[in-house]
Structure 1
Amino acid sequence: MSAVSPDVPRPEYPRPQMVRPDWLTLNGPWQFEIDAADSGLERGLRERELTGSITVPFAPESELSGLGHTDFMDAVWYRRTVTIPAAWAGRRTLLHFGAVDHDATVWVNGVEVARHRGGFSPFTADLSGAARPGEQATIVVRARDSRHGPQARGKQSARYHNYECLYTRTTGIWQTVWLEPVPDVHLRRPRITPDVAGSAFTVVTPLSGNRPSDSVRVTVSDGEGAVATATVRADVDLAPSLRLELPAARVRLWEPGEGFLYDVKVELLDASGAVTDAVDSYAGLRSIAIDGKRVLINGRPVFQRLVLDQGYYPDGLMTAPSDAALLRDIELSVAAGFNGARLHQKVFEERFLYHADRLGYLVWGEFGDWGAHDGREQLPTASFLTQWLEVLERDVSHPSIIGWCPLNETRQPIHDRLTQLDDVTRGMFLATKLTDPTRPVVDASGYSHRVPETDVYDSHNYEQEPAEFAGQLSGLAKDEPYVNDESGQEISVPYRGQPYFVSEYGGIWWNPELAGTAQDAARVTSWGYGQRVRSEEEFHARFAGLTDALLDDPGMFGYCYTQLTDVFQEENGIYRFDRTTKLDVERVRAVQIRQAASERSSG
């Protein structure tokens, strides 16, 4: 792999499930200019040097970018000139963007090479015709991020200030930018599907094209060497498929808490057998199934003790300051007794999933769909479906992902006519199932369930009194679960006996420094759900009472506690925003680690 200077921010390889040896990071200093009224194209910003500078991949609102500019920016511009390595001669150069918020146009040497909408999903530009190896490439990026109209913003505040559970915005580039050479006919991202029952993997290898007599070879290895190898013709199918069966003596499952991974090498061979392209990947052998109201992993019930993780950092906002920070968040979660996370209102960078894969950490993948409300009804657009499909394509092979959540807290009443929300909700559900039939999908988390065949049914319940909380959830035994219905109108299709969990609860408001402050006064600078606890002891009593009600319900397959860390003014985390300790984490862990009712029930 190409050497990276230690001075470059976020220098690690950004795509750990599809690794090529040659690449060049473009993280670091770029020219930068704010285009407050989005008039920069008319004013010639594409052609001239820009007036400021920024550190990529950090958004201009963040401290780590060197700017910390938190006012609205309708558009921003980036510019950087780089020499494409001459050693890449004879290959195409691809320019990759991990994520740009929200509407990006990219020019290279004055030639438009890419347009992309969506702040959470990756995109790539082929520089053929714009710049060749050995030449300089001047890259110009315009990122538009209007605060008007429906847009998938996740938890970004549409107001000037942060408030309640909405936070500082992210504009422009916020994940790694990098170059990579590939041959004219090359491998695209492989899709690896485990088959626990058959002790096998199916590997689908999309190609950029077909050449006579080409073949694809896939090798699965463990620490002792090659386990299975298969080869298939690559000249008749744009996405050749291979099945690799593992010998019984070499079968090892990916388990919660024990993320065993096989190495997977995918090679494209020409007629002579020479390797013309190759990528290194990995895979975990694990299964997910539904047994009544239980969700099984590798054939056994695993109660999902999840924590809500929003992936914000004081200095980097949605971008982790380092790869170690991503790993540290998982370690903090596990230390508190959680075995996974709901990755909430943000598509996390792929390096986080890599660490979750290695550690056997369970995660639910979610789209950051908030931001599509016109004040009366939620109006997600067709663009949401496009962006979500890009996310699925990137993440479908990660074994740590054990469920999908396309939408969150849609609340529009069910009408006697279909609405735009119905169309998009069903479209995103069907697209998810078509892309990935191996994992459960919740059509929309928490409030308005609009797809009768949704695999999972859930609710968000922030009742703070444990006895009242348990009473509200007691109907699950009679197939009458708690259903969010704040509008006074029917907002969900009827429950059909699916696996059920409370996918947000708790959110216990606790800031030790405000312990002696009246609640109303505390809300000036601090926010949390319901009545604030008055002491750490009261926190632990409330946490135990709420969590016990969920662990003791045999119809519940899991829960998700809000949340892992404080985020700006929202102070209901197990840890502070800077990841330091604010309460006795061992007591939190002790509540969670006992066996849940569904783990000992026959179902």
Structure 2
Amino acid sequence: MLKPRPTLTRELVNLDGLWRFAIEDANVPRPWTGALETRLEAPVPSSYNDLYTDPEIRNHVGWVWYQRTVRVPRGWAGERVILRLDAATHEGKVYVDDVLVARHVGGYTPFEADITDHVSPGAEFRLTVGVSNELTSTTIPPGSISVTQDGRRQQTYLHDFYNYAGLARSVWLYSKPERHISDITIVTGVIGQTGVVDYSVAASHETTVRVRALDATGCEVATAEGSNGTLSIEAVTLWQPGAAYLYDLVVELLDGEEVIDSYTEPFGVRTVEVRGTQFLINGKPFYFTGFGKHEDTAVRGKGHDNAYLVHDFQLLEWAGANSFRTSHYPYAEEVLEFADRNGIVVVDETAAVGLNLGVQGGLTGIGPKPTFSPETFNHETQAAHAQHLRELIARDKNHPSVVMWSIANEPASNEEGAREYFEPLVQLARELDPTRPLTYAAVMFATFQNDKIADLFDVLSINRYYGWYVFTGDLATAEQYLEGDLRGWVQAFGKPIMMSEYGADTMPGQHSVWDMPWSEEYQQSYLDMNHRVFDRIEAFIGEHVWNFADFQTSNGIHRVDGNRKGVFTRDRKPKSAAHTLRARWTGLNGSKPSANETAIPDEETKTRPVPALEGAK
């Protein structure tokens, strides 16, 4: 699905702003049939949960309603009129006046509707959007809903971040010609000093297609005709981590010499490859430094905010980070576009977080149900997961910053049924995009001895919390177990390995001369311990700290106003650990630190079982 852009043949109207807002009301069964009777207004984009003081809204489980009036520009006569929502978390229903024009399940990918037959140029229409925050065993991410004794509906979910909901990204109205470009796919390669750009154009009607590549100055550097083909860019400037360079692919549909539709897609020329135990970008080994992040800020929740976008990337640069993972869902497209322009590398992750009932069992003390079964996560869950993969890859396939797809975070990859669940999804992802490596983030329950899916993937991404959830405050023992664990993965699978999560909750201002958990000094010591281990493992290709910034979670006695593992506070103030990372990362420039292959003293550590976890990450 092409992102709406204003072009020679297309116009764009942004519908962000204050909308009328109400939660569902049994006395108003069809709220889209008239004006919402409410005094509340909600900003779009934002999550609605933290906007109001009424706990009934914050704790609401079910549908909420947004509404506004929209005028179609009068100059759009003869054009197709399209309504697009960048996301509706987690399900959306869209009404134009009294007509349902779109319905979409999945809270982090866009959807749209052609409303040409329901509106008139120059006239107004009533736009009503329903959004549901409900999660079930057949949604991605999953959850469950229960009813209390007094009749209140409660949402339970298996991920450790707050279930923010609403219209957290932009809403658009745009025009396109009757005969139009519907999709573009770009795949790049390099032969010597020549950039090779394979392209494919899908159009609504069969007609002549002209394609032109423009450099950063707007000069034409290659051209071709046809809906499929290859462009050669001589003396190509590559898109590099930390040194972004973007070209524009201008695609035009022609009727004779007349341009009937035009669309411009930015792209970068670069290659990505896993070779042995190395991750290569443009043929050179790349070492990931950075974070798992969240779309999470005070008041806005998951609402996209360009001010935070710019500031967060400034902090990434200040810390010496060259990459991040979109944990645990696709981020707003503006984030990836900014990464494209700024040379930040992205591991793009699906919203498949929580496919692990073992974690729930560890928290509650109740024996867990099997994660993969007809009664738990089943073929319907798998189908929803597959659809999410299709939508993610369709949206993000042309971003040069995206170098790897992450299929899931912390699934029960150690349980029976995991391979049957994931193998078809891995095959689908490779069919959709054979050019990028695949990974998933392995939970601590999954070890090199019991994991059932690691061989299906290209890169091993490991989440480990030795020194926090296990061996809390005992970093010497944690170091032994961590090294034995990581070396076991390398020896078992022979693949590149990176740490996709490691971190310790830290209260800013808490200090100690000892290794006291929750203190700023302990967070620094914890990171130093991990880094010593990383530097001793030759196959190690990167480190993503959990987390970039503190973020909101659900209620729980193991959380103090959210997850405090951030290197920055929720309002982006640095903790001491931020300076520790900056000192380490600023000199690396994407290169691996010098490896020291000295074996750990206790050889038995390599086969010790992972101790039972007492909590979630």
TM-score, normalised to structure 1, is 0.82
Alignment partner, residue 258 of structure 1: 243
**1:564/1:162 CA distance change after superposition, 3 Å:** farther
Identity %: 25
Look up the equivalent residue of 2:23 and give its one-letter code: I
Q: Residues 545-591 of structure 1, C-alpha deviation per residue, up to 9 Å, x if partnerless?
A: 21232133211111211111011321111110011223263332112
215-224 or 93-102: bigger deviation = 215-224
Going from structure 1 to structure 2, the CA distance change for 1:180 and 1:164 (only over 3 Å counts) comes to: closer
Q: Structure 2 residue aligned with 1:334, among 299, 310, 317?
A: 317
Matches within 5 A, 1:35-434: 35=24, 39=26, 43-52=29-38, 53-63=41-51, 69-153=57-141, 166-197=160-191, 199-211=195-207, 214-223=208-217, 225-232=219-226, 240-248=227-235, 251-270=236-255, 272-320=256-304, 322-371=305-354, 376-378=369-371, 379=377, 380-411=381-412, 413-415=414-416, 419=417, 421-434=418-431
Q: Check conservation: 1:93, 1:126, Cα contact below 8 A.
A: yes
User: Match of 2:439, SS?
Assistant: coil
Deviations along 1:248-269, one digit per CA (max 9) or x if unpaired, are 2xx1111111111112211111
Give, in angstroms, the shift of residue 23 of structure 1: 0.5
In the alignment, does 2:537 pair up with 1:553? yes
| Partner residue of 1:571 out of 556, 564, 584 | 564
Residues 208 and 194 (structure 1), Cα distance of their counterparts in 2 relative to 1, 3 Å cut: same
What is the DSSP-based 3-state SS (H/G/I as helix, E as strand, rest coil) of the residue aligned with 2:160?
A: coil
How far is 1:389 from its partner? 0.7
Counterpart of 2:118 in 1: which secondary structure? coil
Q: Cα 1:202–1:64, aligned 2, differ >3 Å: closer, same or farther?
A: farther
Native 8 Å contact 1:457 1:499 kept in 2: yes
Corresponding residue number in structure 2 for 1:453: 456
Deviation at 1:63, TM superposition (A): 2.8
Question: Is 1:540 aligned to 2:540, yes or no?
Answer: no
Q: Distance in 1 between matches of 2:300 and 2:144?
A: 14
Q: 1:33 aligns with which of 13, 22, 35?
A: 22
Give the structure 1 partner of residue 434 of structure 2. Answer: 437
Q: Is the 8 A contact 1:18 1:189 kept in 2?
A: no
Structure 1's 280 and 142: CA in aligned 2 closer, same or farther, altered over 3 A? same
Where does residue 611 of structure 2 map in the other structure? none
Query: Helix, strand or coil for the counterpart of 1:222?
Result: coil
1:55 and 1:65 in contact (8 A); partners too: no
Match of residue 486 from structure 1: none
**Aligned partner of 1:533: which letter?**
P
Distance 1:84 1:362, change over 3 A: same
Q: Partners in 2 of 1:334 and 1:66 — Cα distance?
A: 39
- Gaps spanning 5+ residues in structure 2: where? 147-152, 358-367, 372-376, 468-473, 553-561, 598-617
Aligned to 2:365: none
Greater Cα shift, 148-157 or 365-374:
148-157
Alpha-carbon distance, 1:132 to partner: 2.8
Give unmatched runs, 5+ long, in structure 1: 1-12, 233-239, 483-493, 519-530
Show the counterpart of 1:237: none
Deviation, structure 1 residue 57: 1.8
Which has the higher mean CA deviation after the structures are superposed, 333-342 or 295-304? Answer: 333-342
SS of the residue corresponding to residue 512 of structure 1 reads: coil
- Alignment check: 8 A CA contact 1:17 1:280 kept: no
Secondary structure of 1:403 counterpart: strand
Q: How far apart in 1 are the matches of 2:6 and 2:384?
A: 26
Structure 2 SS opposite 1:318: coil
CA contact (8 A) 1:156 1:166 kept: no
Alpha-carbon deviation of 1:71? Answer: 0.9
Q: Distance in 1 between matches of 2:64 and 2:157?
A: 24
1:590 partnered with 2:576: no
Q: What is the aligned length? A: 545
Aligned AA for 1:245?
S
Q: Matched residues in 2 for 1:351 and 1:276: separation?
A: 27
Q: Is this contact kept in 2: 1:230–1:242, CA < 8 A?
A: yes
CA separation of 1:269 and 1:135: change in aligned 2, threshold 3 A: same
**TM-score normalised to structure 2 length:** 0.80
Q: Deviations over 1:322-349 (max 9, x none)?
A: 3131122122122122211111012100
2:411 aligned counterpart, secondary structure: coil
Cα deviations by residue, 1:343-390 (Å, 9 ceiling, x for unpaired): 101210000001111111111000122255665233134112112211
> Using the alignment, how far apart are the partners of 1:18 and 1:434 within structure 2?
31
SS at match of 1:324: helix
The CA deviation at 1:600 is: 6.3
Sort the Cα spacing of 1:283 and 1:542 in 2 relative to 1 into closer, same or farther, 3 A: same
8 Å contact 2:135–2:155 — kept in the other structure?
A: no
What does residue range 475-486 of structure 1 map to in structure 2 within 5 Å?
475=484, 480-481=488-489
Q: Which residue type is aligned with residue 66 of structure 2? A: Y
Report which stretch shifted further, 76-85 or 344-353.
Answer: 76-85
Q: CA RMSD in A?
A: 3.3
**What do residues 229-281 of structure 1 show as CA deviations (whole Å, max 9, x unaligned)?**
1122xxxxxxx212110112xx11111111111122111111x2111111122
Query: Aligned partners of 1:288, 1:542: CA distance in 2, in Å?
Result: 32
Per the TM alignment, residue 497 of structure 1 is displaced from its structure 2 partner at its CA by 1.2
